[in-house]
Amino acid sequence: MAAEILLVGSIPYDTNEEVFREFGPALASSLVAMPDGEVGPRSHWISRVHYAVFANHPDLETLRQPAKEGGVERLHPRDAGDSWQFRVRDGIETVAFGDKGWRLGYARDAINSYFIFKALRAEGLYPAGMRFQVSVPSVNSAVPYRIFPDQDDVEKVRRGYVEALKAELETIVRHIPARDLAIQLDCASEVQDAYGAIAGQPAATAIDRNTPQIQALLSWIPHDVLVGFHMCFGTLGGWPRFEPEDISGAVLMANAFVRAAGRPVGWMHIPLLARMDEAFYEPLRGLEPNGARVFLGMVHSMESYPARLAIVRKLVPDFGVAAYCGFGRLNPSQLPAIRQQHLDALRLLHG
């Protein structure tokens, strides 16, 4: 049976073991893969890259960082207006990153978490064959236009960052068996770009701007590794950070990424707002998964979930469900209720 639930990524317990023990087992039989929860610094998504990598890079100057709180430094921005900002120093055309395969921290975190997951799977908390999910922000989302006042700086950083992220993925693939591994690219800036919501960047050329990174990052990955895409509206400053009139841009970009991947894609995740107008959902008819499992991010606002489920069933012949995004910016006290929402959503999906 096809997987019916996708966990997008972040689950804000204190440790990976808590995530694996407390959140995942109740859902395990329905999951496509199990993430480590992106605990600690990764819980605020791209912020860790900004303060731990960019802010320490000799080719970058920090122009702004999140405002202090109670006189104490704050690493994670409250909203887009509080984000880190940088400029590329004069004379630099490509910002290159050292410590190849480890500098961004994703490989080290993934490898450490995998061995905890593997041990707990052996204990029987997860089915034999359950994959370990590594979720990483795409290049264009980790290096968004909003953190560089000089837009020319964006490409200077992205050129080096794509090589750094590819090296991290190479390290992950080298240390985690392909049959045990799933890799998800988290894509938020790309979705905004598809709607023409990034100043100075026309929607008509959004696909051309955003697909080269996908080819560079994924085309070489062994086919035994499962790969997927999370299309994201963002939660910085509250959900949703970006609220389009319909789902067309997310569908457009997801289709483009499946084509650009240069290899089979395991899943595409499309976030859905709590809207009741069928016009919002109509573009779902245009999904071209090409064998990828479709997960619709509709596990939220549960009072309207049954009605929304009825709408999308007219448009998408077969799909699983997920939340709209990860939970990293939520209070951990909310996690039991969120887990129950997934169980309720699964029951209604079967109904």
E strand map for 67-180: 85-88, 132-137
Q: What is the pLDDT of residue 237?
A: 46
Q: What is the DSSP letter of 68?
A: P
As averages over each run of 10 residues, the pLDDT of the chain (351 residues) reads: 84 94 96 92 83 97 95 88 94 98 97 98 97 97 95 97 97 98 96 92 95 94 96 67 86 97 97 94 98 96 96 96 85 92 94 73
Maximal C-alpha separation, the chain: 62
Beta bridge partners of 182: 133, 226
CATH number of the domain to which 158 belongs: 3.20.20.210
Q: What is the pLDDT of residue 97?
A: 98
Q: What is the pLDDT of residue 322?
A: 96
Q: What is the pLDDT of residue 325?
A: 85
Q: Which amino acid is at 14?
A: D
Q: What is the pLDDT of residue 269?
A: 97
Owning domain of residue 82 = 5-350
H-run or E-run covering 51:
helix 47-52
**pTM, two decimal places:** 0.95
Number of domains in the chain: 1
Cα separation, 52 vs 62, whole angstroms:
12
